[in-house]
Structure 1
Amino acid sequence: MSSTAGNNLISNVPAIKVWAENRMIYLELNDGRILGFPADRFKLLKAASESELKEVQLTLNGYALRWENLDEDLTVQGILEGRFQLPLEPST
């Protein structure tokens, strides 16, 4: 990683809101962007029910997502960089 990576547009952007809907996790970032990703891109989230997914909370001043009952934590930075555990499954 280059030393300038910390200065790019995707670095150090916290979320101000997080929610789950139809097995998608959505983030609203403090710069106004809204992004979503399929819960099925992460092992523990893939196995979770819709109601368990909806229990997501923002932690670390908006820099991380936490599912207490699943004992799962994700960083906003990792999501922005596309660091997912599982490949995207093709739509049927």
Structure 2
Amino acid sequence: MKLYHNIKNVRFTGNRLILDIDGQEQAFDLKTISQALLHASEIERTTFEISPSGYGIHWPLIDEDISIDGLLGITHSANFAFSS
């Protein structure tokens, strides 16, 4: 399994999601990334699962998923091979 990101210290401060991603602390405004998390209770926010690969975080009580690449603005292009 490819490890996409090393995610640690998932926490909330007010309306901000704070994460340690690949050794760097990052903060994200919930208003721009997730209305579900913005309006979630403390127990809903603190009940989460980090994917084993570090690709994303899932909050099962509110059925919300956040992609780490999406948070960081990383996009992937598909490499298609076409034959004629």
* TM-score, length-scaled by structure 1: 0.62
Identity %, equivalent residues: 26
Q: Which residue of 1 aligns with 2:7?
A: 16
| CA-based RMSD | 2.2
Q: C-alpha distance in 1, partners of 2:54/2:64?
A: 15
Q: How many corresponding residue pairs?
A: 70
Q: C-alpha distance in 1, partners of 2:30/2:72?
A: 14
Q: How do residues 47-58 of structure 1 correspond to structure 2 at under 5 angstroms?
A: 47-58=39-50
In 1, are the aligned partners of 2:56 and 2:66 still within 8 Å (CA)?
Answer: yes
Unaligned runs of 5+ in 1: 1-11, 83-92
How far has the Cα of 1:20 moved from its partner?
A: 1.9
SS in 2 for 1:51: helix
Q: Does 1:29 align with 2:14?
A: no
* TM-score, length-scaled by structure 2: 0.67
Moved over 3 A (4+): none
In 1, are the aligned partners of 2:4 and 2:53 still within 8 Å (CA)?
Answer: no
Q: Which has the larger radius of gyration?
A: 2
In 1, are the aligned partners of 2:48 and 2:57 still within 8 Å (CA)?
Answer: yes
In 2, are the aligned partners of 1:67 and 1:73 still within 8 Å (CA)?
Answer: yes
Unaligned runs of 5+ in 2: 75-84
Q: Which has the higher contact order (CA 8 A, sep 6+)?
A: 1
